[in-house]
Chain A
């Protein structure tokens, strides 16, 4: 299957700083990528849909000024958590749809564990 790579896998940052998470589609071009947040023992919560060359679409309740998304190329989307606070500590996961005709499969990155201290 298609490969989605996410980096870093773990990051610890100080409160008030910003952290950037990268999501790359390694063997296909993704016009759309998705960012999720997952709390311990809970399901994936869609934060935003990232569209190449245009503004991201944020889900209700997600602060777009806090969670900056950039999708500058067909293989890279980034999520920047600005002015991070301890409550932003979570597992962040990206996914992308592989443009294979007849399929709607979504492939996920390995996730990024963010800890804000």
Chain B
């Protein structure tokens, strides 16, 4: 059972656009929601994370919007650049376990 559902599977935007990746979860025990960025052949790297008591968090060009009542959260990338082209994973955490979304392949066209 997929505990965290992520969409879209792939996304193509022009440079400067604002790609949005959405995730939904069911487990209300999740208390930490990170986003990871993964380049081909590399391990995931933590990008930004949020706790459910906050509705929005911004770090540089990356923003997480969190809707606790809807059990949804999303990643926005402002002024996207070709170097942002990667696969992005959302996750939910409870205790010692991380549950990952299925990933979104983002391509930013110059």
Q: Point out residues on A near B: beta carbons under 8 Å.
A: 1, 4, 6, 9, 32, 34, 41-44, 46, 49, 91, 93, 95, 97, 104-111, 113
Contact = CB atoms under 8 A, between A and B. Distances in A.
Binding site secondary structure of chain B: strand
Nearest to B46: A105
B54 to A, nearest CB: 14
Nearest to A107: B46
Contacts of A42: 102-103
Given A43-B89, A104-B93, 12 more contacts: A9-B41, A32-B96, A41-B87, A41-B105, A42-B103, A43-B102, A91-B41, A93-B43, A95-B98, A106-B34, A106-B93, A109-B43
Interface string B35-64: 010000111111001000000000000000
